[in-house]
Structure 1
Amino acid sequence: MSRAERPETRTDAGWHAMLGEFTGGLSPAALITAYVDWYIHLLASPDKQSELAGLAVENLSEIDPAEDPRFADPAWAGFPYNVMAQGFLGAQRWWDAATTGLRGVDPKHENIVHFAARQWLDMLSPANFALTNPQVMARTRAERGENLIRGARYWIEDFNRLLSRQPRQSGHYKVGEDLATTPGDVVMRNRLVELIRYRPTTERVRPEPILIVPAWIMKFYILDLTEERSLVAYLRDQGFEVYILSWKNPGEEDAELSMQDYVDLGVRAAVDHIAPGKGDRLHAVGYCLGGTLLAIAAAAMARDEDARLATMSLLASQVDFSEPGELGLFINESQVSFLEDMMQTRGYLEADQMAGAFRLLRSNDLIWSRVIRHYLLGERTQDNPLMAWNADATHMPARMHSEYLRSLFLGNDLAKGRFEVDGASVALTDIRCPIYSVGTETDHVSPWKSVFRLGLLTDTDVTFTLTNGGHNTGILSEPGRGDWHFRTGHKTEAQRHVTAQKWFERTKPQDGSWWPHWAKWLAAQSGAPVAVPVRPRKSLGSAPGTYVFG
Structure 2
Amino acid sequence: MAALSLRRPVNPGVEGPGADFYATATTAWLKLLAEQPARILGQQVSYWGETLRHFAETQQAMARGQFTPPPQDLPKDRRFSNPLWESHPFFSFVRRQYFINADAMEKAAYDLEIDDVIERRRVEWFTRQIIDMMAPTNFLATNPDALEKAVATEGESLVQGLENLVRDVEQNGGEIVVSLADRNAFTVGENIGTTEGTVVARTHLYELIQYKPSTPQVHAVPVVMFPPWINKYYILDLKPQNSLIKWIVDQGFTLYVVAWKNPDVSYADTGMDDYVLAYLEVMDRIQDLTGEQKVNAVGYCIAGTTLALTLALLKKRGDDRVNSATFFTTLTDFADQGEFTTYLQDDFVDGIEGEVKDNGILPASLMTRTFSFLRANDLVWGPAVRSYMLGETPPAFDLLFWNGDGTNLPGRMAVEYLRGLCQKNAFVGEGYDVLGERVRISDVTLPLCAIACETDHIAPWRDSWRGIAQMASTDRTFVLSESGHIAGIINPPSKKKYGHYTSDAGFGGESEDWLKQGQYHEGSWWNGWGEWLAKRSGGLVEPRDPGEGFGPAPGEFVHERA
| TM-score, shorter chain, exceeding 0.5 | yes
Name the residue aligned to 1:510.
Answer: 521
- 2-side partners of 1:458 and 1:54: how far apart? 54
1:82 aligns with 2:95: no
Deviation (angstroms), 1:160: 2.4
- Flag the 1:278–1:172 CA change in 2: closer, same or farther, 3 A: closer
Match of 1:70 among 69, 73, 79: 79
1:486 aligns with 2:465: no
Name the residue aligned to 1:129.
Answer: 139
- 1-side partners of 2:252 and 2:433: how far apart? 36
Match of 2:22 among 29, 32, 39: 32
1:462 aligns with 2:476: yes
- Asked if 1 retains the 8 angstrom alpha-carbon contact of 2:327 and 2:449, the reply is yes
The alignment covers a number of residue pairs equal to 528
RMSD: 2.4
Name the residue aligned to 1:5.
Answer: none
- Flag the 1:72–1:534 CA change in 2: closer, same or farther, 3 A: closer
Equivalent residues in 2 for 1:254-293, closer than 5 Å: 254-264=267-277, 266-276=278-288, 280-293=293-306
- 1-side partners of 2:496 and 2:140: how far apart? 35
Equivalent residues in 2 for 1:133-152, closer than 5 Å: 133-152=143-162
SS at match of 2:240: coil
- Flag the 1:312–1:532 CA change in 2: closer, same or farther, 3 A: same
For residues 140-184 of structure 1, the C-alpha deviation after alignment (integer angstroms, 9 at most, x for no partner) is: 332232222221222222222233569756111001111211111
SS at match of 1:243: strand
- 1-side partners of 2:331 and 2:529: how far apart? 19
Deviation (angstroms), 1:244: 0.7
SS at match of 1:508: strand
- Flag the 1:274–1:93 CA change in 2: closer, same or farther, 3 A: same
Range moving further from structure 2, 388-397 or 291-300? 388-397
Match of 2:170 among 149, 154, 160: 160
- Asked if 2 retains the 8 angstrom alpha-carbon contact of 1:179 and 1:224, the reply is yes
Name the residue aligned to 1:94.
Answer: 104
Match of 2:185 among 151, 172, 180: 172
- 2-side partners of 1:125 and 1:41: how far apart? 30
Unaligned runs of 5+ residues in structure 1 are 1-16
- 2-side partners of 1:161 and 1:278: how far apart? 46
Whichever residue aligns with residue 141 of structure 2, its letter is: L
Name the residue aligned to 1:433.
Answer: 446
SS at match of 2:110: coil
- 2-side partners of 1:42 and 1:136: how far apart? 42
- Flag the 1:139–1:394 CA change in 2: closer, same or farther, 3 A: same
- Flag the 1:458–1:256 CA change in 2: closer, same or farther, 3 A: same
Whichever residue aligns with residue 151 of structure 1, its letter is: G
Name the residue aligned to 1:7.
Answer: none
- 1-side partners of 2:120 and 2:375: how far apart? 19
- 2-side partners of 1:104 and 1:363: how far apart? 25
SS at match of 1:18: coil
Whichever residue aligns with residue 529 of structure 1, its letter is: L
Equivalent residues in 2 for 1:125-524, closer than 5 Å: 125-163=135-173, 168=179, 170-264=183-277, 266-276=278-288, 280-460=293-473, 461-481=475-495, 483-490=497-504, 495=506, 497-524=508-535
- Asked if 2 retains the 8 angstrom alpha-carbon contact of 1:200 and 1:237, the reply is yes
- 2-side partners of 1:395 and 1:316: how far apart? 21
For residues 415-459 of structure 1, the C-alpha deviation after alignment (integer angstroms, 9 at most, x for no partner) is: 225101122211222222221111112212111111111232112
- Asked if 1 retains the 8 angstrom alpha-carbon contact of 2:496 and 2:522, the reply is no
- Asked if 1 retains the 8 angstrom alpha-carbon contact of 2:114 and 2:120, the reply is no
Whichever residue aligns with residue 26 of structure 2, its letter is: V
- 2-side partners of 1:40 and 1:372: how far apart? 37
Deviation (angstroms), 1:114: 1.4
- 1-side partners of 2:176 and 2:371: how far apart? 18
- 2-side partners of 1:456 and 1:55: how far apart? 47
Match of 1:18 among 2, 5, 9: 9
Deviation (angstroms), 1:538: 6.1
Whichever residue aligns with residue 464 of structure 1, its letter is: F
Whichever residue aligns with residue 126 of structure 1, its letter is: P
- 2-side partners of 1:281 and 1:423: how far apart? 24
Normalised to the residue count of structure 1, the TM-score between the two structures is 0.90
- 2-side partners of 1:28 and 1:121: how far apart? 20
- 2-side partners of 1:42 and 1:288: how far apart? 42
- Asked if 2 retains the 8 angstrom alpha-carbon contact of 1:198 and 1:242, the reply is yes
For residues 44-94 of structure 1, the C-alpha deviation after alignment (integer angstroms, 9 at most, x for no partner) is: 451642553465246757853351222233221021212211111111112
Range moving further from structure 2, 102-111 or 83-92? 102-111
Deviation (angstroms), 1:490: 4.6
- Asked if 2 retains the 8 angstrom alpha-carbon contact of 1:186 and 1:539, the reply is yes
Deviation (angstroms), 1:501: 2.6
Normalised to the residue count of structure 2, the TM-score between the two structures is 0.88
SS at match of 1:196: strand
- Asked if 1 retains the 8 angstrom alpha-carbon contact of 2:262 and 2:557, the reply is yes
1:525 aligns with 2:539: no
- Flag the 1:303–1:75 CA change in 2: closer, same or farther, 3 A: same
